[in-house]
Amino acid sequence: MKLIIVRNKEELGARAGGMIAEAINAKPDIALGLATGSTPIPVYRELIRLYEKGELDFSRVRTVNLDEYIGLPANHPQSYRCFMDKNLFDHINIDKSNTYVPDGMAQNPVAECARYDAVIDRLGGVGLQLLGIGPNGHIGFNEPADAFSERTLAVRLAEATITANARFFDKPADVPERAISMGVGDIMNAKKIVLVAGPEKREIVDMAMNGAVTPNIPASVLQNHRDVTVFIIRE
């Protein structure tokens, strides 16, 4: 794993966004694995900036998001579909029918997981996966567990995640308790991985990169991937 320490959000956006732009230019129909959360926002801003400058074309790009809350409709302001539209898709020339986010309102979440796996397979897997990291080391919504998950699954969110995400909702009780997430196996299948983290994640990033590989710290599995770049903002 390669660690790059950046000074601030702007540098994070420029460098991580630059890596993604390079991957799109190398393969214009790339399948990008995308993430939500605060840290990716400057990355998306950079992609929008490059598109506006005429340096990036999303017309053939496909995207597959890591996760979605169960119980939030696509038009809910805190749904991850809504987040992606607002922070990226509405500002670039992507064909929205090529953008995939799990359906949090699916009647049968297990069937939805199988459908999402089929989407990932149809795309030929993920070319570049953007990741955040949770305060407990989660990637996607793969929370600390006894074993690493393989494919898309319905999960119960950890208390630490509900607490961390409560800032986006009116009250903590409004945070959904369940989600659909791509599995750790799906993430590990990506050809290239770019993980972005704020200064408050320094300790967990250090544990994930330098500690034991354990499903108790899901991001530690990335030590077994051959092409991971971690960007962290210096305090």
Sequence letter at residue 138? H
128-131/153-156 β-pairing: unpaired
Q: If you ran DSSP here, which 8-state letter would residue 91 be given?
A: G
Q: Which residues bind ligand PGA (CB under 6 A)?
A: 37-39, 132-134, 198
Q: What is the DSSP string of 116-146?
A: HHHHHHHTTS-SEEEE---TT--BTTB-S-S
Query: What's the Rg (C-alpha) of the chain?
Result: 16
Distance of alpha carbon 99 from alpha carbon 126, whole angstroms: 13
Return the bridge partners of 154, or none.
180
Sequence letter at residue 120? I
Sequence letter at residue 4? I
Distance of alpha carbon 192 from alpha carbon 173, whole angstroms: 36
> Residue 34 corresponds to which tokens in the numbers above?
């995308």
The alpha carbon dihedral of 3, 140, 21, 120 has a sign of positive
The alpha carbon dihedral of 173, 175, 178, 184 has a sign of negative
Distance of alpha carbon 124 from alpha carbon 96, whole angstroms: 18
As annotated, the active-site residues are: 67, 136, 138, 143
What's the closest the beta carbon of residue 134 comes to ligand PGA, in angstroms? 4
